[in-house]
Structure 1
Amino acid sequence: MERLATPIVTTLKTKMHILFTLLLLICSLNEAQLHLQPDNETNSYLKPAGSHVEAGNPSEHQQTCTQDISAVLREMSASLAGLKVEVKYLQKENEAKTRELELLKQQDQEKTKELELQKSVLDNLKQQDQAKTKELELQRRELDKLKQQDQVKQVAFSASLLESGVEELGPFNAQTPLVFKRVVTNIGNAYNPNTGFFIAPVRGVYHFVFHIKGHGHASHYTAAALFKNGEKTFIASEQQPSHLAGTANSITLLLEVGDVVFLHQWENTRVFDNENHHTTFSGHLIFTM
């Protein structure tokens, strides 16, 4: 507003200067006209009879012109003084508005800083929340893992050869898998009654026991062997010429996850089972490693 007031004062001064110049020019022209008027004697010859012309007084005209100029100057001075007062008022108002604007800017900057600080705090809280969420997720997974490990540690099974009825297997010309179909216990579901395979769910030490029955015969044994991953470990066998013959064996093995344990009936042997479940296969986890 201070910049706006300055051109106003300048414009007014220019107009006053022009007006003052015009007044001086008018007064000069009036004075020149008075000097150009003929004197009374000359006019007396030129004037018609009976006519009367009054000659003006130059000093009176000059005095009137000076008075008019003074009046205009006083009016212009009064206007200029009023304008100066208005300009000062506008300058003060402009300064007050400027201070108010600066204060608003400072308040805006403070609010901006406060918002940035709150945003930073909120981001920090979000990061902490994400970290806590990840930590809780890890703890949950660890807990689930511990639960699974605890469940895996509980491994035991026991099964007999036949579900029901009476059957004698063999003799065969080659080793034949023994599938124990009647499952009494299968904690951990490591034994598969469809294949006869026990698959280790966890690394650890396991103990297995197998009992084999068969009718005595002069030419055929009653025998079976326990295999680990296709490799023969222990064998149980019995031979007698008549009556029911029985044999058994047990073994303790260190198994890795996925190792397979199963029984094979030995070639040229006889294996028997009935509703009394003489031929059985059992095992359990002793401890993990």
Structure 2
Amino acid sequence: MMLILIIQLTLLYVCKGQDADIMKPTINIFSELKQLRTLVDGLSADLNATKSELAEQKALVQNVQRQIAGSPKVAFTASMTSNKNLHRGLFTSETKLIFDKVLTNVGDAYNPKTGVFTAPVKGIYYFRYSGNAFSSRDMGLSIFKGNSRFVSSYEYSSGEQNDNVANGAIMQLEAGEEVYMQLWIHSWIFVDSRYNYSTFTGYLLYTI
């Protein structure tokens, strides 16, 4: 009996020791919670910064949209009118070209009677022209900004039957400034009755 009792007491002691080991925490819960709190605070700060940046971007987009909505719509393309195919030119002085055949004139800033575009607002504009002519004579074209020549194209009489030139420019214009085309002295440009080979184009990119 004594032996049995000793064995039972020994087993009870061992079991109690195992229970104590099982219940002993293997991690520091408070330390883990503190680290988790720090992580959450960092994520919250990042989220708030992202929200702030998104709000700034949204405000910028809305501002641009308001500017676009408030900006005038300006765009034109014009050619020259003729009942038959012919050349215009061989003048003894440089001459303004009047592109009187309006193909597009949104905003009515281009005057087909004078060949002059007048900027309705201060802004950045783009202009382009094309010219076609038989190659038995020279062809010289220029865009003028006010009284100043801005960009030009020139094709000498090469004898290749047909010549084509083109050029374009971006201009900063004040409201009321004028832009137009001129034909060089002793040169010509072809005016057709149907295909609009020679054209003058311009449009507003954005206001400033």
Q: Aligned runs of 1:1-289 on 2, under 5 Å?
A: 150=69, 152-162=71-81, 164-217=83-136, 220-239=137-156, 240-274=158-192, 275-289=194-208
Greater C-alpha Rg:
1
Instruction: Give unmatched runs, 5+ long, in structure 2.
Output: 1-65
Query: 1:151–1:273: structure 2 CA closer, same or farther, 3 Å change rule?
Result: farther
More strand by share: 2
Using the size of structure 2 for normalisation, the TM-score is: 0.64
How far apart are residue 236 of structure 1 and its match? 1.1
Q: May I ask how many residue pairs the two structures share in their alignment? A: 141
Distance 2:197 2:83 in 1: 12
Instruction: Give unmatched runs, 5+ long, in structure 1.
Output: 1-146
Distance 2:143 2:105 in 1: 19
Distance 1:256 1:150 in 2: 20
Percent identity at matched positions? 31
Query: 1:153–1:166: structure 2 CA closer, same or farther, 3 Å change rule?
Result: same
How far apart are residue 153 of structure 1 and its match? 2.4
How far apart are residue 186 of structure 1 and its match? 0.4
Query: 1:242–1:207: structure 2 CA closer, same or farther, 3 Å change rule?
Result: same
Using the size of structure 1 for normalisation, the TM-score is: 0.46
How far apart are residue 151 of structure 1 and its match? 6.4
Distance 2:83 2:197 in 1: 12
| Residue-by-residue CA offset, 1:178-212 (whole Å, 9 max, x unaligned) | 00011011001000000000000000000000001
Query: 1:160–1:202: structure 2 CA closer, same or farther, 3 Å change rule?
Result: same
How far apart are residue 169 of structure 1 and its match? 1.1
Higher relative contact order (CA 8 A, sep 6+): 2
| Cα RMSD after superposing both structures | 1.9
Distance 1:246 1:151 in 2: 38
Distance 1:270 1:253 in 2: 26
| Residue-by-residue CA offset, 1:102-150 (whole Å, 9 max, x unaligned) | xxxxxxxxxxxxxxxxxxxxxxxxxxxxxxxxxxxxxxxxxxxxx9x94
| Residue-by-residue CA offset, 1:37-86 (whole Å, 9 max, x unaligned) | xxxxxxxxxxxxxxxxxxxxxxxxxxxxxxxxxxxxxxxxxxxxxxxxxx
- Find the residue that maps to 1:276 and give its secondary structure: coil
Distance 2:169 2:93 in 1: 24
What letter matches 1:247 in structure 2?
V
Aligned residues of 2:71 and 2:207 also touching (Cα < 8 A): no
What is the match of residue 45 of structure 2?
none
What letter matches 1:209 in structure 2?
R
